[in-house]
Amino acid sequence: MSQTSSPPAPPDSETVLEADGLTKHFAVRKSGRQAMTRAPRVVHAVDDVTLKLRRGRVTALVGESGSGKSTVARLLAQLYPRTGGDIRLHGKSVTVKGGRRFRAYNRKVQMIFQDPFASLNPVHTIRYHLTRALRIHGNAGKGADGLQQALEQLLERVQLTPATRYLDKFPHELSGGQRQRVAIARALAADPEALLADEPVSMLDVSIRLGVLNLLRDLKERLSLAILYITHDIASARYFADDTMVMYAGRMVEGGSSEVVTQHPAHPYTQLLINSAPDPDRILGEGTPDDTEDTSGGEPPSLIDPPSGCRFNPRCPHAMEICRTELPPRFDIPVPVELSATVGAPVGEESPHWAACWLFDQTRATVPAGTEASQ
């Protein structure tokens, strides 16, 4: 399988959407006597997540089930209020709760969900769904001809041609891949700058996943979209994403260029993910969506009472005393010489590879065997 062919982000690559210290705690409902006696408890779904989505680039957010990926996407889409942190669109802080301001934000930032069948109303045709989206966002053109032209252009953009073959069909008359293309077309009706794609191919038949990812990549290039690609499958991140961020138990643990993160994983959790999903060709036709789930090497912790220090420490083969008590900051990791041309210079103030892991604290102990690949 070929890897993503995008060049490194140029230093001036424009940040469309960014999260800074994003945090979301869900209140846990207490029942009966608990309500009288216990202090309020929360699920630490997302803690201190910082990321940037840039024009014309795909950023993958990878992690096992329950790590907080969907919550990050929903926070970025302003579907949930956040507990803390900031969301900036073109550098301006935005908090919207609904109404006109939400619609204006939503015009720039669109979300695509995992299950295209659930996101399309079965009683309405594709024409209805797309017309509604075009009208809401003021892109329906002038008169009946303008609308028809806009509808056909949308379906052509997602490679459903001739458009007239699909416009008057109902969702159940389309295949899963075609439905997901319609869901993408509906998102494009807003003419967005950022797309938040929450596991956009994991419910599709393996034979058509690659086609949908290639379509998203094509749209990224033609429309200069900033795309967040959420997945369990780190192999597909290497194929599809320019940059990859790894999440564990609500926190970001590693990030950088996809090539370096997937070929020279630094954080022991990323190494575990890669070792349990070793076949980069699986996306092309082997296995099922559930195969991508990593369940090896222990269980993720409770997010109601997460471990202190590094949240991965109870599962980590290299855990040291400090890992149990102190939260690791991000440490920059040198890019291997053979990849430095591909990965390019750091973008702005950012490192092309970092890990939140005490193993990479140069002022401390030597790096243990098995983690030296990216040193």
Among 8, 56, 63, 255, binds ligand ATP (CB under 6 A): 63
Beta carbon of residue 75, minimum distance to ligand ATP (angstroms, whole number): 9
- Could you tell me the strand order of the sheet in which 109-112 lies? 109-112, 194-198, 226-231, 58-62, 243-248, 251-257, 353-355, 331-332
Q: Which of residues 10 and 81 has its CB atom nearest to ligand ATP in the complex? A: 81
Beta carbon of residue 306, minimum distance to ligand ATP (angstroms, whole number): 10
Among 4, 15, 59, 70, binds ligand ATP (CB under 6 A): 70
C-alpha dist (Å) from residue 74 to 5, 87, 287, 340: 29, 12, 28, 34
Beta carbon of residue 271, minimum distance to ligand ATP (angstroms, whole number): 19
67 within 8 A of 248, measured Cβ to Cβ: yes
Among 9, 19, 45, 237, binds ligand ATP (CB under 6 A): 45
Strand 194-198 to strand 109-112: parallel, antiparallel, or no bridges (unpaired)?
parallel
Cα distance between the two ends of the chain: 26
Give the CA angle between residues 282, 283, 284 to the nearest 5°: 90
**Segment near ligand ATP (CB under 6 A), from 63-71, 124-132, 164-172, 234-242?**
63-71
Would you state the structure tokens that stand for residue 8, as one six-digit string?
């490194």
Tell me which H or E stretch contains 103: helix 99-108
Binding mask 278-307 for ligand ATP (x = CB under 6 A): -------------------------x----
Among 71, 131, 236, 271, binds ligand ATP (CB under 6 A): 71
Q: Which of residues 70 and 131 has its CB atom nearest to ligand ATP in the complex? A: 70
**Segment near ligand ATP (CB under 6 A), from 64-72, 91-99, 233-241, 281-289?**
64-72
Beta carbon of residue 367, minimum distance to ligand ATP (angstroms, whole number): 29
Residue 56, amino acid: G
Strand partners, 51: 19
Tell me, by CB under 6 A, how many residues bind ligand ATP: 12
Phi first, then psi: what are they for 21, rounded to 5°? Answer: 65, 30
Beta carbon of residue 76, minimum distance to ligand ATP (angstroms, whole number): 12
**Segment near ligand ATP (CB under 6 A), from 61-69, 134-142, 174-182, 347-355?**
61-69
| Residue 67 interacting with ligand ATP (CB under 6 A) | yes
Residue 264, amino acid: H
Beta carbon of residue 63, minimum distance to ligand ATP (angstroms, whole number): 6
- DSSP result, 219-240: HHHHHT-EEEEEES-HHHHHHH
**Segment near ligand ATP (CB under 6 A), from 59-67, 180-188, 209-217, 262-270?**
59-67
| Residue 68 interacting with ligand ATP (CB under 6 A) | yes
Beta carbon of residue 43, minimum distance to ligand ATP (angstroms, whole number): 4
Q: How many angstroms separate the CA atoms of 60 and 123, rounded?
A: 34
Would you state the structure tokens that stand for residue 348, as one six-digit string?
């702005």
Residues that bind ligand ATP (CB under 6 A): 26, 43, 45, 63, 65-71, 303
